Amino acid sequence: MAVTEADAPPASEVRLTTERLTLRAVTPDDAEQLHRLLNDWEVCRMLQAVPFPYPRLIADQFIADSVSQRLDGRAYHFAVTGQEDGREKLVGAVGLTLLPGQRRATIGYWVGRRFWGHGVAREATGRVLRWALANLDLDSVEATVAIDNPASTAVLRAIGFREIGRGAETFLSRGNGSHSVLRFEAARADLAPAPTQSTPVADSLAAAAAPPGLPLVLVAACVLIDGQGRVLIARRPEGRAMAGLWEFPGGKLEPGESPEEALIRELREELGVDVARSCLAPFVFASHSYPKFHLLMPLFLCRRWQGHPVAREGQLLRWVTPDEMMDYQMLPADKPLLPLLRDLL
């Protein structure tokens, strides 16, 4: 059975948007505006790695370095732009740096003083944070803020960061010596789904507190197995709870549906494939408590279907061997099922 693996565009080509802003790779054409906005004491003094005065030569070198870092996946530096009189205008930047050999990254940002007070930092940094946790192999993102920078502290807390401690860092613009900082961290569980995203109960880990006795949520999932013995897994897209983790296709049962009926509907909606009830073989079930509900999930096996799986909901699809499957960061409810599935296949 031949299928085409759906994949996401390379991270080096990512262009993000919000209601007001565009976040794209920095380019040499940004050097003049970047230098003008950064060569400002009120901006520089809050950034660890930026000297003051800020020479134009450093701006050019930063942009050149950012290209190579982006191409090899070490860091992603986004120019934050808006529209002014119908023209693109640089207003700031957000940088994400991956920590070698770890599933963590650090994030930093700045906004030109002229654009302070308009929510730019919160909007742009929150967008990059959600993109990173949904599309890169990360478990958490960290940030450090000078203790005398309450505005940035408020930004981090607003987009989901938790304060995890205090420390001391050197700030180039402030000369020698260390300065007190606050340390923050954000993981997937800290992020609420995007406000425009529909969030059914089974998907809403950030819903309002449940009453005593967690509500039971029924979800059906399916392991599609191709002719080479590979399994189809899907990565939860940005805007969904636990975005960036992998799962088996499926979804919540609607009122009156059986697990098989729910799977037939979900596989058609999510992947564009048609499955007959007779081709769904019950395999095992998961029982897992999330913070706001308890999940009960029967898992079915399927080796025959009509059509080619296509990502219809923005998810990333990947065919993996049973051994490869063990290396993916799966949803907590799915993890205990992996050894059983590997042994079967």
Annotated binding site: 236, 247-250, 270
Provide the 8-state DSSP code for 312.
S
Residue pointed to by tokens 């080479």: 228
Q: How many angstroms separate the CA atoms of 7 and 338, rounded?
A: 23
Element counts in the chain: helices (H) and strands (E): 8, 15
Give the chain's largest Cα–Cα span.
72
**What is the per-residue DSSP string for 133-178?**
HHHSS-SEEEEEEETT-HHHHHHHHHTT-EEEEEEEEE-GGG-SSE
CA contacts within 13 A on the Cβ side of 129: 33
Q: How many angstroms separate the CA atoms of 26 and 334, rounded?
A: 39
Residues that constitute the known binding site for Mg(2+): 250, 270
Q: How many angstroms separate the CA atoms of 263 and 249, rounded?
A: 8
Q: How many angstroms separate the CA atoms of 136 and 326, rounded?
A: 18
Q: How many angstroms separate the CA atoms of 329 and 343, rounded?
A: 19
Output the CA torsion sign for 322, 323, 327, 333: positive
What does the chain come to in residues?
Answer: 345
Question: What are 180's strand-pairing partners?
Answer: 168
Residues that constitute the known binding site for 8-oxo-dGTP: 236, 247-250
Q: How many angstroms separate the CA atoms of 88 and 335, rounded?
A: 46
